[in-house]
Structure 1
Amino acid sequence: MADDVRPIIIKRKKVIAGGHHGGAWKVAYADFVTAMMAFFLLMWLLNATTEDQRKGLADYFNPSIPVHRTSGGGDGPFGGPSQKSEETLAQNGSGATKERPSAQSLAKGETGSDSADVPEEAFIEIQAALKALGGESALADEILKHVRTRVTDEGLVIEIFDIEGSPLFEAETDAETAVMRTLMILIGDVVNLVENRISVAGHITSVPLSGPEFKGWDISTRRALLSRGLLGRAGVAQTRFARVAGMADRDLQQEDPFDVRNNRIEITVLRSGSEAEG
């Protein structure tokens, strides 16, 4: 009887655990969390800082290294000074520094004073400030249609001209319009971003002016003088004006000598040391 007992066989199912899936998801999640933190930090900074502070932060992360034919960069952070030696500081003038000016620099008066040549970056800043005024309102956009800027060997030229149906001055007079007064306030603000001297020139079209008292030289000169006065009222120091001149129709900007855009005022932010600044 005992021989008829069958053995009990227990079958155990072998469970094979899944392989290791890795931690790539953790890296992706960490990147996401970091990005969100940076985003909320940016939002906080935009709300908690002033315009000047934001500009300082932007300049910190986007430094501008001066590029000039007589200047070079240093070897420190962002092209600035290092802690090793004075020879590696950013160079000012022809291979010289403020602490060790060269003979050539001394001869030119390049001793690190504030009268150094205004850099191209300053001209760009003025141009950008003018462009930034647009978009604030439909009126500002219309007024800035009168303005054009260009950089020359003499400096930054801010050209203000008539538009058909929207003159700067009453016909054949030096009586300014409301558009001209508004423009002088805006331009007075932007030219005060630098301390360089200023030249003002009045220009007119070749259209003959009626009456013996309305000579081209006279009217363009009176308009230039009036523009200087308007800039003064806008906060530009009178000591900054190096030259005020009436050019009549001797320097037309448009091919058509009768184009109203030849009626214009040119305000030039002069390069320091230029002949015009004298």
Structure 2
Amino acid sequence: MKQAQRGNKGGEVVIHKRRGKKGHGDEHGGAWKVAFADFTMAMMALFMVLWVITPQNRAQTVAADQESNPLVDGGAGVFDGTNRRPLDFEGLPNPRVERQKPSDPRVPELQDLATLIKTLSLQLDAEANLEVQVVPQGLRILIKDDQQRFMFERGSAQLNKYFEVLLTRLAGVIAQVDNKIIISGHTDAVPYPGDARYNNWNLSGDRALRARNVMVAAGLPARAVLQVTAQADGMPLLPDAPEDGANRRIEILLLTLQAEGLYRELFGDGQLRADYSAKGAELVSPVGT
């Protein structure tokens, strides 16, 4: 702002020029813009570098994931030597998968025995009465009625002559192997008539015991029979027709060595157990230990 003053003797006009005061920010007003521009340029450069190198790292990561993933074809398996720990689902330990145990050496013998029994059924014209099945537990032999021949007299354990001959011949074949056997009797679901104290459970048990006695008398070692059991109508061959006569039968199960071992664990003294009585619990060790 200019202001004119008169004050000198010569009448001259003196002009004073006043300058406004500037703040501190006005003196450095453009510096922050330069710094911000430099920072932005540096960030852009960093972004470009990351953008260039990311695809390569991603490809390496995917390849590594495929090699270590057991679900990818060709990937590393869980138990192939690179990872020895079982998988853990929700914190619960997953037991290690055991390798399958070697097959029972008696199994081929059972298969040969099945062939012999088939031959026996042809010789006795008993194809409809004698059925053989190789099952995981051993050899299952079913002796049953047909339309012309009944194994037992109705409602009794009286064995018909034809089936007595069949059991006698069958005992000679089974005696050729060392496998233990279980003999079970089965009836249909028709209630046993007469005395209520005797029912299908009694009848099926008596028939199974009768079959056992005939076979032992024919030369089957008595020690070969591990169990004689009554099943009544509990396990019908025709579940949809429990009263059908086709459910009446005697079954003989020749056990594999493994199945025999499981049986002895259930019913024998080969395992540690606790016996309970009025005096309390008593720990019993296996026999011979």
Q: TM-score, normalised by structure 1?
A: 0.55
Deviation at 1:195, TM superposition (A): 0.5
Question: Aligned with 2:208: secondary structure?
Answer: helix
Identify the residue that residue 129 of structure 1 maps to in structure 2. 116
Distance in 2 (alpha carbons) for counterparts of 1:128 and 1:181: 21
Distance in 2 (alpha carbons) for counterparts of 1:243 and 1:221: 11
Distance in 2 (alpha carbons) for counterparts of 1:266 and 1:132: 18
Deviation at 1:165, TM superposition (A): 2.9
Deviation at 1:214, TM superposition (A): 3.6
Mark the structure with the bigger radius of gyration. 2
Identify the residue that residue 260 of structure 1 maps to in structure 2. 245
Identify the residue that residue 172 of structure 2 maps to in structure 1. 189
Identify the residue that residue 120 of structure 1 maps to in structure 2. 107
Question: Aligned with 1:195: secondary structure?
Answer: coil
Question: Aligned with 1:250: secondary structure?
Answer: coil
Instruction: List alignment gaps of at least 5 residues for structure 1.
Output: 1-68, 72-92, 94-116
Distance in 1 (alpha carbons) for counterparts of 2:131 and 2:254: 14
Distance in 2 (alpha carbons) for counterparts of 1:224 and 1:209: 17
- Percent identity of paired positions between Structure 1 and Structure 2: 25
| Contact 2:118–2:132 under 8 Å retained in 1 | no
Question: Aligned with 1:169: secondary structure?
Answer: coil
Question: Aligned with 2:212: secondary structure?
Answer: helix
Identify the residue that residue 80 of structure 1 maps to in structure 2. none
Counterpart pick for 1:248 among 223, 232, 252: 232
Deviation at 1:182, TM superposition (A): 1.2
1:47-86 paired onto structure 2 within 5 Å: 69-71=100-102
Counterpart pick for 1:210 among 188, 193, 200: 193
TM-aligned CA distance change 1:124 to 1:161, over 3 Å: same
Q: CA RMSD in A?
A: 2.0
TM-aligned CA distance change 1:118 to 1:168, over 3 Å: farther
- Are 2:128 and 1:145 equivalent residues in the alignment? yes
Q: TM-score, normalised by structure 2?
A: 0.53
Distance in 2 (alpha carbons) for counterparts of 1:129 and 1:226: 24
Counterpart pick for 1:269 among 254, 258, 264: 254
| Contact 2:185–2:249 under 8 Å retained in 1 | yes
TM-aligned CA distance change 1:266 to 1:208, over 3 Å: same
Identify the residue that residue 224 of structure 1 maps to in structure 2. 208
Deviations 1:2-22 (A, max 9, x none): xxxxxxxxxxxxxxxxxxxxx
Distance in 1 (alpha carbons) for counterparts of 2:141 and 2:257: 17
1:82-121 paired onto structure 2 within 5 Å: 117-121=104-108
Distance in 2 (alpha carbons) for counterparts of 1:160 and 1:259: 16
Distance in 1 (alpha carbons) for counterparts of 2:158 and 2:207: 8
Distance in 1 (alpha carbons) for counterparts of 2:177 and 2:117: 14
Distance in 1 (alpha carbons) for counterparts of 2:264 and 2:167: 21
Deviation at 1:273, TM superposition (A): 3.5
Counterpart pick for 1:233 among 217, 221, 226: 217
TM-aligned CA distance change 1:220 to 1:152, over 3 Å: same
TM-aligned CA distance change 1:198 to 1:134, over 3 Å: closer
Question: Aligned with 1:189: secondary structure?
Answer: helix
| Contact 1:203–1:264 under 8 Å retained in 2 | yes
Q: Given residue 211 of structure 2, which amino acid in structure 1 is its aligned partner? A: S
| Contact 2:107–2:138 under 8 Å retained in 1 | no
Deviation at 1:261, TM superposition (A): 1.7
Distance in 2 (alpha carbons) for counterparts of 1:277 and 1:164: 39
Instruction: List alignment gaps of at least 5 residues for structure 2.
Output: 1-99, 266-289
| Contact 1:203–1:220 under 8 Å retained in 2 | yes
| Contact 1:200–1:267 under 8 Å retained in 2 | yes
Identify the residue that residue 154 of structure 2 maps to in structure 1. 171
Deviation at 1:259, TM superposition (A): 1.9
| Contact 1:164–1:260 under 8 Å retained in 2 | no
Question: Aligned with 2:234: secondary structure?
Answer: coil
Question: Aligned with 2:263: secondary structure?
Answer: coil
Q: Runs of 4 or more off by more than 4 Å in structure 1?
A: none
